Amino acid sequence: MFVTAPQTDWPRQAASRPDRAVFAGLEVCRNPLDALAVWRTLAPAGRGSFYQSEKFLLAWLEHLGAKEKVEPFFIVARDACGAPLALLPLGLFRFGPLRVAQFLGGKHANYNLGLFRGDAAFSARDLRLLLREAARAKGGPHLYCLLNMPLFWRGAANPLTLLPHRSGADHAYATALGEDGDAWLATRLSAATRKKWRKKEKRLAGMGELSYFRAKNQAQAQEILDSFFRQKSRRFAGLADQAKAAATQDFYAALSSFGAEGAAPAVELHALTLGGRVIATLAAGLNGGRLQALFNSFDADPPIAQCSPGEILLSHVLRDACARKVTAFDLGLGDARYKKTFCDDVESMADTLFAPSFFGLLAQPFFVASLVAKTTIKQNPSLWRLFDRMRRGQSLFRSN
């Protein structure tokens, strides 16, 4: 757990420099709670994604970041009046003696963003200066490795992509929603596809009572989580890192827990049931009118799996989202047929490597080579199928 502590870390005034920047000062917070006031001022609901929210990042740091020995490294930029201009919620990851600043959330975060005030006109030069100055903090990073940054967010260019970058290995899939779920689905799915799904749904209903629900209390949330873990464990039996899987379970449980007096959890859980048995699950975070899918699963029993329970559940989730006036939805990173079926907006990602030190410059080519290899593998279907079979032994619970 994180506890509040006096801010003793390193502030630096950029305004005193001859190369005056858009920001007048900055500070580095090693305890994320020290940045809480800034975090809430630059609320992710307006400027970031669900993956920059307090609940998501604090839960990740507690359950997974601590296990990986990640040190929080939150960069705050302020204007001449001391008001916050930007917050970069980063962490320091160790690669041997090398300290690398990256976005938090690991593979569970699909969109990585900084939080920038609307009128904060950062230039590429300002961003380079900000990152260099922050790196001078004691124990600061040798290298910044900023991955999976959307080129555009909420209709505006992402300021961090002003830095030199390369295209990310993955795209993300999103869509705008309408007010009527059935009418919206009719615009996305052909008549033939809708007919095929009705047949599959009818086939499932012939096996037992078929129903959909969104968890409204802790008991329902736990039922869905237990089913998700069971379905994933069965699919990847004997392949997972059990300690990592246990930490991930704790992380998901924290995100989906109802608070005191039934306060809504950070993540909402959806389920499709057959005869009272959960046969498909989906978890998503609602942020600023956008519902962002975090994880999903389905029952692998052949008679059930052949009826596409995950896609049938997704159609219910989207109808429910439209009824609640949710304006946008995304299925995150990675290519998959079902993502292309529901989402018509392919969002391009950018990766940036920035070395503020000589040691970082020496290490940077190795990180570039890794990114190039990742992109090459993902763009070659045969290589990707081979790699995908191998990686399943490394990660039981994935966000995409």
Question: Tens place of pLDDT for every residue, the chain, 400 residues?
Answer: 443 333 333 344 444 444 567 999 999 999 999 999 999 999 877 789 999 999 999 999 999 999 999 999 999 999 999 999 999 999 999 999 999 999 999 999 999 999 999 899 999 999 999 999 999 999 999 999 999 999 999 889 999 999 999 998 889 999 999 999 999 999 988 888 889 989 999 999 999 999 999 999 999 999 999 999 999 887 655 445 677 888 999 999 999 999 877 788 999 999 999 999 999 999 999 999 999 999 999 999 999 999 999 999 999 999 999 999 999 999 999 988 899 999 999 999 999 999 999 999 998 888 888 888 877 776 666 655 665 565 554 443 333 3
Of 93, 95, 115, 97, nearest to 105 by C-alpha is 93
Supply angle C-alpha 171, 177, 183, rounded to 5: 125
Residues 6+ apart with CB under 8 A from 62: 1, 2, 254
Assign 3-state DSSP to the chain and report helix, strand, coil percentages, each to 5: 40, 25, 35
Q: What is the pLDDT of residue 19?
A: 57
Question: Rounded CA gap, 334 and 353, in Å?
Answer: 21
Residues 6+ apart with CB under 8 A from 93: 68, 70, 99, 100, 101, 102
Of 227, 207, 204, 205, nearest to 215 by C-alpha is 227
Task: Report in angstroms the alpha-carbon separations of 230 from 298, 299, 347, 397.
Answer: 10, 9, 32, 11
At 177, the amino acid letter reads L
The label of the residue with tokens 């930490």 reads: 247
Handedness of CA 313, 172, 366, 90 (dihedral sign): negative
DSSP H/E element including 102? strand 98-103
Q: What is the pLDDT of residue 16?
A: 44
The CATH code that applies to domain 11-170+349-391 is 3.40.630
Supply angle C-alpha 347, 212, 273, rounded to 5: 110
The CATH code that applies to domain 174-346 is 3.40.630.30
Ramachandran category for residue 304: left, alpha or beta (phi over 0 → left; psi -120 to 50 → alpha): alpha
The label of the residue with tokens 């959330």 reads: 105
What is the residue extent of each domain of the chain?
A: 11-170+349-391, 174-346
Supply angle C-alpha 110, 225, 221, rounded to 5: 105
Asked if the domains 11-170+349-391 and 174-346 are classified in one and the same CATH topology, the answer is: yes
Handedness of CA 157, 163, 164, 169 (dihedral sign): negative
Rg (CA), the chain: 22
- Using a CB cutoff of 8 Å and minimum separation of 24, what contacts does 295-298 make? 295/108, 295/228, 295/252, 295/397, 295/398, 295/399, 297/227, 297/228, 297/231, 297/232, 297/235, 298/231
The half-sphere exposure of 312 on its side-chain side, counting CA atoms within 13 A, is 30
Return the structure tokens found at 243.
């300690």
pTM to 2 decimal places: 0.88
Q: What is the pLDDT of residue 372?
A: 83
- What SS3 state is found at 351? strand
Of 211, 338, 323, 353, nearest to 270 by C-alpha is 211
Cβ distance 151 to 349 under 8 Å? yes
Question: Rounded CA gap, 162 and 22, in Å?
Answer: 15
